Amino acid sequence: MAKSKSRRDFIKSTALLASASILSTEAGCQDPQLTQPVVISTWNHGIPANAAAWETLSKGGSAIDAVEAGVKVVEADPESMSVGYGGLPDRDGNVTLDACIMDHTGNAGAVCFLQHIMHPIAVARKVMDDTPHVMLAGEGALRFALDKGFAKQNLLTDKAKQAWKDWQKTSNYKPLINAENHDTIGLLALDTKGNLSGACTTSGLAYKMHGRVGDSPIIGAGLYVDNEVGGATATGMGELMMKTLGSFLVVELMRQGASPQEACKEAVMRIVRKLDYKDLQVGYLAMDPKGNHGAYSLQKGFNYALMKQGENQMYDAESYIL
């Protein structure tokens, strides 16, 4: 995994360094029983997401709180055009959101085809914590969110609306690789108690059919965590991960002895062997309970942010197609 050469490579804010030193005095150095936290997440927006997750972890907070805090930063960013606020709409002009979250005990929550809510991950967390269910969809998810006090708001920014209008001139639907319509955030965190959690949130493929749901809210496709073995998350053309239950596959391969890197690669190879993947992208990230990580993608161009020991850096994933 080569460090990428982008300008964002060496973003290390003083806040991050400060939280790293809090960790070494409050946690890591004083108690050898405590695990060193690690955060890993997809694409360039992983840098600010990791930083927010780290803030929670460095104070001894839980992995589940950290993953939620991390991805919320990206959900609220209007410049991130495939997650939450500012996300590109479906072909009818609706921003529809998919998200899921999973903790170290195997608890999980998800929402799909949710509209008008800035933080679908927080709604997914409430589904996990406050209901006997795993997933709520569409109108039901919206009603639940409003009942829980979330505000209804317009998520279609002027910039996203203009992009949609431009797209309508041809209405040519072709999912692209590594373009701005493939920028889901999937984030995995390991906390000082050695617990793993994950979160995944997206506005899905730009200009998708109204009602389309991708892999991101599907436990086992977009995200899976088993605290004994490890966690995995996915990005890219959701249909490919759904057909192979990719994140579950990565974790199960790790259970059978594969390293996180080997498991990510094998899950991509499963797609290569079985499905028509031409011009499509899939990227997997994985982490085991010791903080070892893996990253592998179908096509060149998938990058991820890794934060450990207070350092937050971008890396390019290895890929099947070079």
- Select which of 35, 96, 184, 235 is catalytic: 184
Closest CB 321 distance from ligand SD4, rounded Å: 17
204 binds ligand SD4 (CB under 6 A): yes
Nearer to ligand SD4, 17 or 209 (CB): 209
Closest CB 215 distance from ligand SD4, rounded Å: 5
Q: Which of 238, 246, 291, 310 binds ligand SD4 (CB under 6 A)?
A: 238
Q: Which of 118, 188, 205, 298 binds ligand SD4 (CB under 6 A)?
A: 205
Closest CB 281 distance from ligand SD4, rounded Å: 8
HEC string for the chain: CCECCCHHHHCCCHHHHHHHHHHHHHHHCCCCCCCCCEEEEECCCHHHHHHHHHHHHHCCCCHHHHHHHHHHHHHCCCCCCCCCCCCCCCCCCCCCEEEEEECCCCCEEEEEEECCCCCHHHHHHHHHHHCCCCEEEHHHHHHHHHHCCCCCCCCCCHHHHHHHHHHHCCCCCCCCCCCCCCCCEEEEEECCCCCEEEEEEECCCCCCCCCCCCCCCCECCCEEEECCCEEEEEEECHHHHHHHCHHHHHHHHHHCCCCHHHHHHHHHHHHHHHCCCCCCCEEEEEECCCCCEEEEEEECCCEEEEEECCEEEEEECEEEEC
Q: Which of 55, 65, 68, 183 binds ligand SD4 (CB under 6 A)?
A: 183
Q: Which of 198, 214, 220, 246 binds ligand SD4 (CB under 6 A)?
A: 214
Nearer to ligand SD4, 97 or 287 (CB): 97
Stretch that binds ligand SD4, among 13-21, 52-60, 126-134, 182-190 (CB under 6 A): 182-190
Closest CB 11 distance from ligand SD4, rounded Å: 21
Q: Which of 82, 197, 227, 261 binds ligand SD4 (CB under 6 A)?
A: 82
Q: Is 170 a catalytic residue?
A: no
Nearer to ligand SD4, 109 or 238 (CB): 238
Q: Which of 55, 215, 226, 252 binds ligand SD4 (CB under 6 A)?
A: 215
Residues involved in catalysis: 184
